[in-house]
């Protein structure tokens, strides 16, 4: 009997949707779903939600729930991770300290000063999970949804033998958005997408084999409701010629063009009708509201109407290809760059097409990114490489240098100001980062 472990199962929406998708495949309708979370209370909500799914679909699957990670992993064929290390009281400083220096970050879970410090707190836990997988289920396929994706995958793939990749819904989600803009059925769309997590670009995007970029450009230029839906990404597309995968909220903080001055934030980051990339305070307020009413939210999510139709997340298709019936599946995944993108750093984490087959995840060579994209993406990738090296060696100087070259940070602050900000961030995280000696 196939066993799939969910680490961080208290992330109820993810868990509920991914289990639903899994159970639509015949190969998993009698599987064991092992749910693990450090919060017994959140775990109980997840267990009830999965039991409701199994009953609604009349599946033969079994569900187990435990706060013991080793117990969940023993004998697992597949592992999904959706953890968040630390609570709002800790990670809010990732946003508030840079903001006090004038670096107005929006979301802060991927890169830049906020993403790097989230990574520093998260990577020891992720490496512990890898060591447990090596011990209890060494042949398992490990799919990670936790951010910051690129730095975590880069560290796990260099420090463990686990077959792991990172997944993000932005590739297929944005592809569907663009298809809707030009009135194309997704079944008639093909694309080739590559770069790094949240900064991958559609190197081609075709409708029935014909270049659809002219149609997208026409829609962005001539339909205000489309331009306003994704102002930051649409500006990037109009000037860089290729469409980026992740939302305007994220991309507004990954470069130097949109958040370095209040007038730019007002112009590009406050009036969008899609994911509003406005001030950092909105992110904190949203998180505070969720924390205050999390039990009510969990009850609502647990007991919401059950839809047994498969969703668009990659995980279930990948598991079906690797540990299910073996049907091949191509997806965009996060892996280290060994001969995949020619003009990005060797060994950095890239997001490229990957072929899932029986027991294997095989990345596909892309070639070179267009020059203007390579400049932008290289900066982020090299900052991430510095941050990973600093995390693995306990060298705070490398963390400082990684943040020195972050595009938004360097557009706003001097080197001395960056040093002071990083010092403050280390001080706020001291109890969570014992591997670092005093920053100097």
SS (H, E, C) the chain: CCEEEEECCCCHHHHHHHHHHHHCCHHHCCCEEEEECCCHHHHHHHHHHHHHHHHHHCCCCEEEEECCHHHHHCCCCEEEECCCCCCHHHHHHHHHHHHHCCCCCCCCCCCHHHHHHHHHHHHHHHHHHHHHHHHHCCCCEEEECCCCHHHHHHHHHHHCCCEEEECCCHHHHHHHHHHHHHCCCHHHEEEEEEEECCEEEEEEEEECCEECHHHHHHHHHHCHHHHHHCHHHHHHHHHHCCCECCCHHHHCCCCCCCCCCHHHHHHHCCCCCCCCCCCHHHHHHHHHHHHHCHHHHHHHHHCCCCCCCCCCCCHHHHHHHHHCCCCCEEEEEEEECCCCECCCCCCCEEEEEEEEECCEEEECCCECCCHHHHHHHHHHHHHHHHHHHHHHHCCHHHHHHHHHCCHHHHHHCCHHHHHHHHHHHHHHCHHHCCCCCCCC
The catalytic position among 169, 250, 365, 401 is 169
Residue 169 annotated among the catalytic residues of the structure:
yes
Residues annotated as part of the active site = 169
């Amino acid at each position: 009997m196939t066993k799939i472990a969910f680490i961080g199962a208290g992330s109820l929406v993810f868990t509920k949707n991914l289990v639903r998708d899994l159970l639509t495949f015949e190969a998993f309708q009698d599987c064991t779903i092992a749910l693990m979370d450090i919060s017994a209370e959140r775990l109980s909500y997840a267990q009830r939600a999965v039991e409701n799914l199994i009953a609604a679909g009349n599946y033969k699957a079994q569900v187990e729930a435990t706060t013991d990670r080793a117990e969940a992993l023993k004998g697992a064929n597949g592992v999904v991770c959706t953890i968040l290390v630390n609570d709002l009281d800790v990670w809010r400083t990732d946003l508030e300290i840079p903001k006090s220096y004038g670096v107005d970050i929006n979301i802060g879970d991927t890169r830049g000063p906020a993403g790097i410090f989230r990574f520093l707190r998260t990577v020891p836990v992720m490496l512990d999970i890898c060591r447990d997988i090596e011990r209890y289920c060494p042949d398992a396929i490990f799919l990670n949804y936790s951010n910051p994706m690129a730095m975590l995958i880069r560290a796990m793939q260099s420090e463990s033998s686990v077959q792991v990749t990172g997944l993000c819904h932005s590739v297929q989600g944005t592809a569907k958005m663009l298809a809707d803009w030009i009135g194309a059925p997704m079944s008639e769309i093909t694309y080739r997408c590559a770069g790094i997590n949240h900064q991958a670009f559609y190197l081609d995007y075709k409708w029935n084999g014909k270049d659809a970029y002219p149609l997208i450009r026409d829609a962005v230029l001539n339909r205000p409701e489309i331009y306003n839906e994704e102002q930051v990404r649409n500006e990037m597309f109009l000037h860089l010629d290729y469409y980026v995968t992740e939302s305007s909220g994220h991309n507004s903080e990954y470069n130097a063009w949109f958040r370095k001055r209040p007038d730019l934030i007002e112009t590009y980051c406050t009036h969008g009708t899609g994911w509003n990339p406005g001030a950092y305070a909105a992110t904190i307020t949203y998180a505070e509201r969720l924390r205050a009413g999390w039990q009510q939210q969990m009850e609502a999510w647990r007991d919401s109407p059950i839809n047994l139709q498969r969703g668009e997340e990659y995980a279930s298709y990948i598991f079906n290809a690797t540990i299910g019936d073996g049907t091949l599946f191509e997806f965009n995944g996060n892996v280290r760059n060994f001969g995949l993108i020619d003009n990005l750093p060797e060994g950095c984490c890239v997001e490229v097409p990957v072929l899932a087959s029986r027991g294997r995840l095989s990345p596909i060579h892309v070639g070179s990114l267009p020059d203007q994209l390579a400049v932008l993406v290289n900066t982020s990738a090299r900052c991430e490489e510095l941050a990973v090296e600093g995390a693995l060696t306990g060298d705070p100087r490398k963390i400082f240098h990684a943040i020195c070259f972050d595009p938004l940070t360097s557009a706003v602050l001097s080197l001395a100001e960056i040093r002071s900000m990083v010092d403050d961030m280390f001080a706020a995280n001291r109890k969570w980062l014992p591997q670092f000696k005093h920053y100097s």
